[in-house]
Structures are given as structure tokens and as C-alpha cells.
């Protein structure tokens, strides 16, 4: 399995990127630029490029997939459940002892459990918010989830009961599959990474962000930015040929 495949669902992506692009990578990588990039800006640019590639890979997976037979039913069910959860937590918040007890127990379960995605999200709310903010974050997430689902199924707000909305839930997958997203190019992940990396390159290099000419002796384009981009991408995906990064840069510039 390629590295990028495991990172798509990684709850601590930032930490993983630090493992992949450690000082062992970043220090010599900085020498590819002739304007002495600031270490923080260099790291941020590399991470953003990697994240752009991962997002592109995810979107290609989305394109290859379809709505399943019961996807609409589950989506509508999630809409009603999030509505009920948001309302219940809002009402519960009126009792401070109940809020504190629930937050305390939830924190213990998350810290000692195996739900890594929940742990990452809860730590953010706990670190940045006040002592009564953790449950509020979940309430607002539930409300936002309902709003998102209602934007997909606008008539959902017309129904008080999930059973009443069952027919639109059943019909939704067929309707959605007939209106698939416009497909991106085969090299969309690499082009998205090339577009993102362009900012870092042009900020800290006097060399133009170009594909360069193809050299048969190299089996690659004679392009410093393409070689730098490939150095980032190959740590995520060993199947990407060096010449493809030059092509991606050219495609980005020709838009």
C-alpha cells in the first residue's frame, strides 16, 4: 500500500507529515531554493503541497465511486439524528452539573479508548475552548451536519418524522448517480500539488516555474522545480514518474 492511501483517513495527519518530511528531508530540500526560505514557511509549503496531493487523490476516489442503494436512507437518517442530537444537547446545556458530568465521562472514554478521530477533535475543542465549550462544539457540529444534509436534500426540513421522508431517501441515490460530479483529469492530484507548490517555489527561487526541456540522457525534464516537486510527492506515492511532475507544472501554467 502506498503512503498516501493510509493518510487519507489519518486522524493525526500533521504529526504523520512531520514523520515523512522531517529535518532529514527539509534541510537538504531547502538547498533547492536560492532565496533562503524561512524554515517555517518551507515546512508549511511542503505540508500544503502534500495535503493538496492527498485531496486530489481523495477526489479521484470519489469520482470512481457511486451512491449505494441505501446511501440516501442513511443520509436522511443522519439528518434527523443530528437534528435530535443538536436539540438534546442544547436543552442539556441548561443544566451545568449534567454538562460537567457528561464532559468528564466523555473525556475519560476518549482518552482511554481507541477512537483516534474523536480524540483529535476533542483535544482541539478542549485546548482552545473554555471549560464549558466541549459539549457546545459537539452541539454545533450536529447542527452543522443537519444543515449540510438539508442543503443536499432541501425538502428534509418539511418532514417531522424520518418515515415520512423515506421515499425521497430511497430515490436520492438514483438521482445523485445521474448527476455525477464532473471528472477531473487523470493527473488531477499531481496538478493540484503543482499548483500549490508554485507559490513556495516562486517565493523562494529566482528560477522560473517551468517544465523545462526533456532530456533523454536524464529520462526526465531538465527542471529544478519539477525535481523539487517530485521529491515531495515520491514520499507519498512511489508510482509517480519524475517526468509527470514536469507535465503537471506545464498543465498548471497553461490554464
Cell of 30: 531547502
180-201 residues labelled b (16+ CB within 10 A) or e (exposed): eeeeeeebbbbbbbbbbbbebb
Confidence of residue 131 (pLDDT cuts 50, 70, 90): confident
Q: What is the pLDDT of residues 133-149, one digit of tens each?
A: 788 888 999 999 999 99
Q: What is the pLDDT of residue 219?
A: 62
Judged against a pLDDT cut of 90, whether residue 42 lies above it is answered with yes
Q: What is the pLDDT of residue 218?
A: 62
Of the listed ranges 48-62, 143-157, 197-211, the one predicted with least confidence: 143-157
CA-based R_g, the chain, Å: 23
Q: What is the pLDDT of residue 202?
A: 97
Confidence of residue 25 (pLDDT cuts 50, 70, 90): very high
Domain coordinates of the chain in residue numbers?
3-65+184-253, 71-178
Judged against a pLDDT cut of 90, whether residue 48 lies above it is answered with yes
pLDDT, mean over the chain: 89
Residue 205 — φ and ψ, nearest 5°? -135, 140
Give CA angle at 153 (149, 159), nearest 5°. Answer: 95
pTM for the full model? Answer: 0.83
For every residue of 101-146, DSSP letters joined together read HHHHHHHHHHHHSS-HHHHHHHHHHHHHS-TTHHHHHHHHHHHHHH
Amino acid at each position: 500500500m502506498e503512503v498516501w492511501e493510509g493518510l487519507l483517513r489519518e486522524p493525526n495527519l500533521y504529526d504523520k507529515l512531520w514523520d515523512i518530511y522531517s529535518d532529514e528531508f527539509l534541510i537538504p530540500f531547502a538547498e533547492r531554493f536560492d532565496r533562503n526560505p524561512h524554515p517555517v514557511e518551507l515546512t508549511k509549503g511542503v505540508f500544503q503541497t502534500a495535503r493538496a496531493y492527498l485531496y486530489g487523490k481523495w477526489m479521484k476516489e470519489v469520482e470512481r465511486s457511486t451512491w449505494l442503494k441505501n446511501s440516501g436512507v442513511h443520509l436522511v437518517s443522519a439528518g434527523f439524528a443530528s437534528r435530535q442530537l443538536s436539540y438534546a444537547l442544547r436543552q442539556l446545556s441548561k443544566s451545568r452539573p449534567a454538562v460537567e458530568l457528561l464532559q468528564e465521562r466523555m473525556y475519560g472514554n476518549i482518552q482511554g479508548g481507541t477512537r483516534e478521530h474523536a480524540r483529535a477533535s476533542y483535544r482541539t475543542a478542549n485546548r482552545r475552548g473554555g471549560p464549558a465549550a466541549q459539549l457546545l462544539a459537539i452541539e454545533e457540529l450536529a447542527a452543522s451536519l443537519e444543515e449540510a444534509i438539508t442543503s443536499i436534500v432541501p425538502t428534509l426540513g418539511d418532514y417531522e418524522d424520518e418515515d415520512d421522508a423515506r421515499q425521497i431517501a430511497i430515490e436520492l441515490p438514483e438521482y445523485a448517480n445521474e448527476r455525477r460530479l464532473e471528472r477531473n483529469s487523470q493527473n488531477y492530484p499531481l496538478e493540484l500539488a503543482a499548483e500549490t507548490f508554485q507559490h513556495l517555489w516562486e517565493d523562494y527561487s529566482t528560477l522560473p516555474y517551468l517544465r523545462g526541456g526533456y532530456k533523454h540522457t536524464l529520462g526526465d525534464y531538465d527542471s529544478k522545480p519539477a525535481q523539487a516537486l517530485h521529491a515531495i510527492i515520491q514520499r507519498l506515492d512511489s508510482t509517480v514518474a519524475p517526468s509527470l511532475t514536469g507535465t503537471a507544472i506545464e498543465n498548471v501554467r497553461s490554464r
